[in-house]
Amino acid sequence: MKQNKVIIVVPTYNNPESIKKVVEDILAHNYEVIVVDDGSNQNVQDLFSLAEQKNIHFVRHETNQGKGQAIISGAQKAKELGYLYVLSMDGDGQHLASQAHLLIDECHQDEIIIGARNFNLENVPLGSKFGRWFSNIWAKLNTKMMITDSLSGYRIYPISILELPIQTQKFDWEMEVLIRHAQTGKNIKEVLIECYYPLAEERVSHFRNFEDTMSIVWVHLQILFHRLINKMQKLFKIQS
């Protein structure tokens, strides 16, 4: 896929110490970028000089709406600008712009590409490893695809995700979008990427381990329930 068909979208919420470095990294690798300020206390655009702002597209939510809605807003802006794909990167510095070409090179159609993170790093928390394993079980169940890093936020999305009937807005959106995309018969692929995991005391994350994990599980349970109801309805029709 040609690079000029994809633009990087960075959703950010109260990451003033890392967001500027993330954007500088993206621009240094000659990518276009949309920064979606999801209701940060300080307007993210104000962190950049007027000269820097000329190279960045900004979208701001006046109130925090969640990561999923921030990516949707970024995709809507990308569509307005004429792009066919968005590549999502987190604003906390974990994702590296140097890895973007690995996903772009593998994207050739209306598909989602996941950057599967290399977790063989010293600073990766055990909780993150367990969470990924647990999430992958559910993801495989509901997408019917082998996914090894269903929690990775480093992804290429086609603009067609804007047409999916997604009900979630926060971190659970990243799981629902995979399931809804797979339900349309479209492909999901993975590419191994390197990422940066800072020390625990330097790490900034708005992911709430219990609450957001339960939200993701709830997405799966609802979809499994609806699938069961549909099977029962079809069985009833056949018997009647």
Residue 168 above 90 pLDDT? no
- The secondary structure of residue 109, as a DSSP letter, is S
Token pair for 105? 């090179």
DSSP per-residue letters across 16-82: TTTHHHHHHHHHHTT--EEEEEES-SS-GGGGS-HHHHTT-EEEEESS---HHHHHHHHHHHHHHHT
CA distance 45 to 110: 32
Site of tokens 């994207």: 107
Residue 184 above 70 pLDDT? yes
Boundaries of domain holding 179: 3-239
Average pLDDT score over the chain: 85
Q: How many domains does the chain have?
A: 1
| pLDDT value of position 37 | 98
| pLDDT value of position 195 | 86
pLDDT in tens, 33-72: 999 999 999 999 999 999 999 999 999 999 999 999 999 9
pLDDT in tens, 65-91: 999 999 999 999 999 999 999 999 999
CA distance 219 to 233: 21
69: CATH: 3.90.550.10
Is the CB of residue 158 less than 8 Å from the CB of residue 110? yes
pLDDT in tens, 203-237: 455 555 556 556 666 666 666 665 565 555 555 55
